[in-house]
Amino acid sequence: MRLSKVLSVTKWEYIEKVKTKAFIISMIITPIFIIAMIVLPGLLAEKSDNDTKRVGLVDLTDSLSAKVINSIESQYVLENGKPNYNIIPILHNNESEDILRKRVDKMSFEGKFETYIIIGKNVFRDGKCEYRGSNVSSIRDIERFTRSIKNAISEVILIQKGIKPEILKEINRPVDIKSIKITEEGEAKESGFLQTFFTSYIFIILLMMLIMLTGQMLIRSLVEEKSNRIIEILISSCSPTELMAGKIFGLSLLGLTQILLWIIIGVGASISFSLNIVSLDNLLLIIIYFLFGYLLYASVFVAIGSMSNSEQEAQQLTGYVSMILVLPIVLAFSAVQDPNSTLIRVLSYIPFLTPTFMILRIPILLPPIWEIIVTMLILIISIIFMTWVAGKIFRTGILIYGKKPSLIELYKWIKAK
Amino acid sequence: MLEVKNLHKEFVNKIAVNDISFTVNKGEIFGLLGPNGAGKTTTIRMILNIILPDSGVVLFDGKPFTEETKNLVGYLPEERGLYQKNKLFDTITYFGSLKNLKISEIKNSANYWLKKFELAGNEGRKIEELSKGNQQKVQFIISVLHNPDMIILDEPFSGFDPVNQDLLKEILIELKNNGKTIIFSTHQMEQVEKLCDNICLINNGEIILSGKLTEIKKNYGNNSIIIEFSGDGSFIKDFKGIKHCNIFENYAEIIVNNDFSVKSFLDEANKKIDIRKFEITEPSLHSIFIEKVGNASKVKEVIS
């Protein structure tokens, strides 16, 4: 293999692809898309109310409303100092519950308040309450009301049993659990569930996007070269091995450019949004798995591209590849809950799943050193083996036009001297 | 310059090239002829080390053809195509660099050839913006950019208009005069007759005719007759001693055997047609091609 020829191919593959609109657009769009996906739900969920909410309260027990109103109104205050909720007590006339609901629903529609709570008659026994209104989707509101009603109930019960309300306050003091992740080096760092989850998630999505994007580009250019017979001019100038090596290097450079840019955008975004969504522990390890994964899949795409005659034909095959890539995302949630489960551990020893599953596991719970060494070895051997197989398929495939090879034919290509 | 010895290549269920040998001398134009599917392209691919033969060797200047040899050879494949989205000069630079040219060499050479093909000024345009003929010129330029000792052209004339065909012919003769060896494969016998020194005719993967063009024609002897006439020439094909004939509206080319009598033919012809021209000559390569390839397929039919 002559380096000058490999570099010529690398240079062409890199520069001509970096210049394409598809690459430039995706280079910018992808991170924006990912950031939006992560940041938006957070922003929306955390957004506090701007105005005082008016909430009606029907107390069928006639013993809780004062305590509930006091608790809600005094506890929750808006940023501008106004109370978050204005609780409007509604009298009930011992009418039947159906009539009551109809009457108060009507009041709500008339705009006297937005939503209302009915504290059930038997709430001391069965705990049943109702929250009614045209928009009752705020989980935070429900959670706050539930807590206030519960506290009021406890207070009433405790007072009945002769316990002082002061003691109650002490009992109800909230507990604030801070999760602290420890490492062997003894460093302690605050880390939330979401943070570890997103770290795994983001790196896997990035790897997937990167592989699919650059893989498609490689396939497109290979199919073009095949259908235009440019491949014959290329092979009359350099050996197939040199051509393939150049293509894989060019593709890797393309991937690195993309990663670099994403890191810059990512760091920039997290600084400007002051978000700390990604934990960067063991980043180097993640990046190594990332690159190994990338190289492994690059050879797969070389093989797919060289045996396809059209992009459509190639797409069927890349479909399977993306399925393999998506698998860890599907399992990410259960992995976060139990990173040492047998399933997750076993899957991370299957070559094509190793990069993504290790990237999934590392931020959650750093696997033992021996697992890292073994999976790295598996990856390196797989990369060497796959590149060899891809080289064989490439050498024959690029000169076969017309029909898709069968598995038997593929096997013959691989076995050919 | 180039020696091809006993090349043999089989694909699944098919012998593509069967034991082909020929020699191409330095500074000559060599014609590799044959009908579609005869094995020409496969032979060329094996010469260029694009595919490996099952057996046989290719010697270039007495040494086996290796990867290094590829730098000394230029190739124009039969089916044309270039990177459509890329700029002309970038494309030329890429292919030049693959032949180990320095950027300054590429520039000089590209300027020379672009000027010659009246393409100067298009360096920054995308390939897809060029006309088909111009794209083909670019492809030709790529095959000669690195000043190769040997150039292999697969159907170089197809797709060119007559003006450009003449331009290409001139360039080929110029290259030959500069000591370059040219191998070209084509169906267009006219071009072969005008350009080639030696030919090799392949059919069904086997050589059925090879040697110096002038000698081949001489061996066929003066058994070819060209007649220009008006009237109904259909009687000609049934005349005694006609081996093969091509009859057109008012032109016929016939190949005759020993039974043929010029006198009785003229007697007969005078009754049926008005003869404007009657010439006994050596056969055109076209007729030889048709006869050889036609015979072969007839033989095959009989066997099967």
pLDDT at A188 (0 to 100): 45
CA distance A105 to A88: 14
Contact A2 B67 (CB under 8 A): yes
Cβ A277 vs Cβ A270: under 8 Å: yes
Query: What torsion do the CA atoms of B121, B182, B156, B220 make, to the nearest 10 degrees?
Result: 150
Q: Which residues of B touch A399 (CB under 8 A)?
A: 45, 50-51
pLDDT at B303 (0 to 100): 45
Q: Which residue of A has its CA nearest to B65?
A: A236
Of the partner residues B77, B84, B86, the one whose CB lies closest to the CB of residue A233: B77
- The shortest C-alpha distance from A254 to chain B (Å) reads 18
Of the partner residues B70, B73, B82, the one whose CB lies closest to the CB of residue A228: B82
pLDDT at A263 (0 to 100): 76
Question: Can you list the residues of chain B whose pLDDT is less than 70?
Answer: 295-304
Contact A233 B94 (CB under 8 A): no
pLDDT at B170 (0 to 100): 92
Contact A236 B85 (CB under 8 A): no
Burial of B39 (0-12, 13-18, 19+ CB in 10 A): buried
Beta strand B29-33 with B181-186 is parallel
- The shortest C-alpha distance from A235 to chain B (Å) reads 6
Chain A contacts to B (CB-CB under 8 A): 2, 4-5, 8-9, 11-12, 16, 20, 224, 227-230, 232-239, 399
Average pLDDT by consecutive 10-residue portion of chain A (417 residues)?
A: 89 89 79 70 61 87 86 81 86 85 88 88 87 80 87 85 77 69 54 64 80 86 87 90 90 84 75 61 80 89 88 86 82 74 86 87 84 93 92 86 79 78
Q: What is the pTM of this model?
A: 0.73
In this prediction the ipTM stands at 0.82
pLDDT at A192 (0 to 100): 58
pLDDT at A8 (0 to 100): 93
Cβ A305 vs Cβ A314: under 8 Å: yes
Cβ B27 vs Cβ B179: under 8 Å: yes
Q: Which residue has the tokens 């935070």?
A: A140
**Best mutation site among B60, B67, B80, B90 for testing chain A: the one with the most A CBs within 10 Å?**
B67
Helix (H) or strand (E) holding B153: strand B150-154
Contact B70 A238 (CB under 8 A): yes
Chain B contacts to A (CB-CB under 8 A): 45, 48-51, 67, 70-71, 73, 75, 77-86, 90, 94-95, 97-100, 139, 142-143
pLDDT at A179 (0 to 100): 59
pLDDT at A39 (0 to 100): 66
Tokens of A203: 């790196």
pLDDT at A274 (0 to 100): 58
Of the partner residues B48, B82, B143, the one whose CB lies closest to the CB of residue A230: B82
Of the partner residues A20, A228, A238, the one whose CB lies closest to the CB of residue B98: A238
Q: Which residues of A touch B99 (CB under 8 A)?
A: 237
Contact B73 A236 (CB under 8 A): yes
Q: Which residues of B touch A5 (CB under 8 A)?
A: 98, 100
Helix axes of A369-397 and A354-364: crossing angle, nearest 10 degrees: 150
Rg (CA), chain A: 31
Pairs of CB atoms within 8 A across A/B: 63
Show the 3-state SS of chain A. Answer: CCHHHHHHHHHHHHHHHHCCHHHHHHHHHHHHHHHHHHHHHHHHHHCCCCCCEEEEEEECCCCCHHHHHHHHHHHCECCCCCECEEEEEECCCCCCHHHHHHHHHHHHHCCCCCEEEEECCCHHHHCCEEEEECCCCCHHHHHHHHHHHHHHHHHHHHHHCCCCHHHHHHHCCCCCCCCEEECCCCCEEECCHHHHHHHHHHHHHHHHHHHHHHHHHHHHHHHHHHHCCHHHHHHCCCCHHHHHHHHHHHHHHHHHHHHHHHHHHHHHHHHHCCCCCCCCCCHHHHHHHHHHHHHHHHHHHHHHHHHCCCHHHHHHHHHHHHHHHHHHHHHHHHHHHCCCCHHHHHHCCCCCCHHHHHHHHHHHCCCCHHHHHHHHHHHHHHHHHHHHHHHHHHHHHCCCCCCCCCHHHHHHHHHCC
Contact B85 A20 (CB under 8 A): yes
